[in-house]
A and B are shown apart, each in its own frame.
Chain A
């Protein structure tokens, strides 16, 4: 789960991490008020969406599709600038490298004081899967994509790891700061900042904190100029406050609904819907459809606790996607029994009128019974015995493939 920059910075303030003064706004009027209250000659007007690459993004009118402004983060030198920029941002669609062509409608803005930048760094805290510990990663090259830095100048990236029981070592933090060429009071500030961020990472169950750029100002102060925070959803149970910072408009409506039903759904661009049990098998089903010349329309794992209701809802969700021309059901029964799934398929087809070709592959628990139920029903279903046969069949049914 991601949160907005303005929310992340509020959290930073709580943990004593240096940020500039700023105000969260939802309209042009609020943005102008914010400018007046900040008393800073220069301010940044920042679009608040969860995707990165906002600065280099482009804003479009969501209705006409016309380009409105280049840059989702603008530096304003006057009240007039703030008015113009916030008008161009608010309610318009921001397309960045990470949003995909459909972009995101911006409804939240952040108006923030300016500062005199001496140098831009990069700082992140994340989970290192290989070392099974928390990693602090920093670079002298801030303000650019870290992936790019990793590729072109890997020597600019420095890393330290926290010990799972003893946490971060002071010495490591100091040497990290030294490797970045940060000295004197700025170094002390950075070490404090890393410690505060690490404490926040643990206490708030983050999965990533990324500050790009982290800046040293002309007077040597270290400031988090940007803030990207992701939270580990597995820890939601011990953080009830998350309900309040969650921005549902940032999540795909259908993915939220699926989630509430115990389904795991991700929409893709193809035309063959998939209904599968298990995440690995669901991915493999998509892969095999593609291998035989089709394009999967979605990832869908019905989970181990699927019921007649959730399977019916799963069909509904698949069919809401108007690109879907056929559906492949691939079940390897373990806890889930194929006969139960078969009955659900029939129920669903009666209830919502399945009018696209349907190919069903059953294996595992009660697969024979499941197949018999489908073969004995009056709805048109192709039953097959292997995944590749299923993928070939559904591709053939919709008249595609190689």
Chain B
């Protein structure tokens, strides 16, 4: 098992005829992701060829979901249309038994996201991951389910869950698990924007409840207090070991470090505060991402899940 997506997930691509949608849609298919169609307004009824795979294009999410039975959508539309795409996907999934929306798009206005997140929250069976994230991947035995832009080949099916605010640092964490011969159940990039859907706690809770996941690697970064809240949750609720790293110890205050949300404001949101919260919650801390593998082995050994 994995969390939220697996080999049975039926995936739609919003913006499938755009450059990004076609490029990443092709790579998702290569990994054996079950891509059942896509949406581009005005291009409904066409077929798009993704390396020999003919995929139907629909005008609306509502049509696409009802006709394909999809339960996952990946959004690759430009920032100015992305929030609208989230609203549309949320309504379509809500009418058809629920679903997962993965918004890859970067640069969506914060006020648009406040509305979009509020919309998704009104529908019980609908979940949003992102925006501004690499997506979610659950490796399988032969490929797996990749909904996003991560390099699939670095992953392998296994028993570690990964959740991260950052893209390439997620890949680093994946490589670290592989370096100690551990694979992953699911890797979730939740994105680095100030307002987004799924957070650390949602992921931790899902991993805690997933029988195949035995331990979690959590990667945070400066800004906000999501890491502190997650640490508190781990302390109260988590029975599985968690390994943590926070990026941005050397970031100067008041400067945005690439991600819109990665900023220390008013002396709050520093990496050192987050590391302290992690340590207090019994999270196994790696101060160097290249040490995540070694720290993970220690955590697994302590839990009796591995002999060094």
Contact = CB atoms under 8 A, between A and B. Distances in A.
Nearest to A301: B258
B41 interface: no
B168 A389 contact: no
Contact of A387 (B115, B172, B194, B267): B172
A21 interface: no
A304 B104 CA distance: 12
B287 interface: yes
B1 interface: no
Contact of A129 (B149, B154, B224): B224
Contacts of B257: 264, 266, 279, 282-283, 299
A290 interface: yes
B251 A283 contact: yes
Interface stretch (A63-71, A242-250, A330-338, A368-376): A330-338
A12 B108 CA distance: 26
Interface in A324-344: 332-335
B169 interface: yes
Interface stretch (A72-80, A106-114, A130-138, A218-226): A130-138
Interface stretch (A29-37, A88-96, A230-238): A230-238
B249 interface: yes
Interface in A275-297: 276-284, 286-291, 296
A280 B290 contact: no
A281 B80 CA distance: 27
B118 interface: yes
Contacts of B192: 279-280
A238 B194 CA distance: 20
Nearest to A391: B288
A389 to B, nearest CB: 7
Nearest to A208: B265
Given A232-B110, A332-B171, A334-B134, A127 B195 contact: yes
A207 B261 CA distance: 11
Interface string B214-244: 0000010111111001000000000000000
A235 B226 CA distance: 24
B114 A279 contact: no
B249 A280 contact: no
Interface in B150-167: 150-151, 153-154, 164-167
A363 B112 CA distance: 36
A333 B151 contact: yes
Given A146-B266, A266-B257, A291-B288, A277 B168 contact: yes
Contact of B251 (A127, A132, A299, A334): A299
B195 A280 contact: no
Nearest to A266: B255
A164 B194 contact: no
Contact of B289 (A233, A279, A387): A387
Given A268-B252, A291-B288, A388-B288, A235 B258 contact: no
A266 B250 CA distance: 12
B245 interface: yes
A283 B248 contact: yes
Contact of A281 (B168, B251, B262, B287): B168
A98 B252 CA distance: 12
Interface string B38-54: 00000000000000000
Contacts of A132: 113-114, 117-118, 195
Interface residues of B, number: 64
A280 B164 contact: yes
A386 B292 CA distance: 12
Contacts of A280: 164-170, 192, 219, 221, 247, 258-259
Q: What interface size band does chain A fall in?
A: 35 or more
A310 interface: no
B282 interface: no
A388 B291 CA distance: 8
A281 B271 CA distance: 14
Contacts of A235: 109-112
B110 A234 contact: yes
Contacts of A387: 172, 288-290
B300 interface: no
A332 B168 contact: yes
A278 B133 CA distance: 11
B254 interface: yes
A331 B172 CA distance: 10
Interface string B72-116: 000000011000000000000000000000000001111111110
Nearest to A335: B149
Interface in A346-373: 363-365
B85 to A, nearest CB: 15
Given A134-B114, A266-B257, A364-B154, A286 B172 contact: no
A165 interface: yes
A391 B250 CA distance: 14
A256 interface: no
B136 interface: no
B195 A363 contact: no
A233 B260 CA distance: 9
B65 interface: no
Contacts of B251: 283, 286, 299
A206 to B, nearest CB: 9
A221 to B, nearest CB: 30
Contacts of B79: 234, 237
24 contacts: A127-B114, A129-B194, A129-B195, A130-B225, A130-B226, A130-B229, A132-B113, A234-B107, A238-B80, A266-B256, A279-B257, A280-B165, A280-B258, A281-B172, A282-B258, A283-B262, A287-B248, A290-B250, A332-B175, A333-B151, A334-B150, A386-B290, A387-B172, A387-B290
Given A132-B118, A280-B219, A280-B259, 13 more contacts: A98-B254, A127-B110, A164-B117, A205-B109, A234-B110, A279-B167, A279-B259, A281-B247, A283-B250, A283-B251, A284-B247, A286-B249, A332-B175
List the 8 closest A-B pairs by CB distance, nearest first.
A280-B166, A279-B258, A278-B168, A280-B169, A164-B118, A388-B290, A235-B109, A283-B247
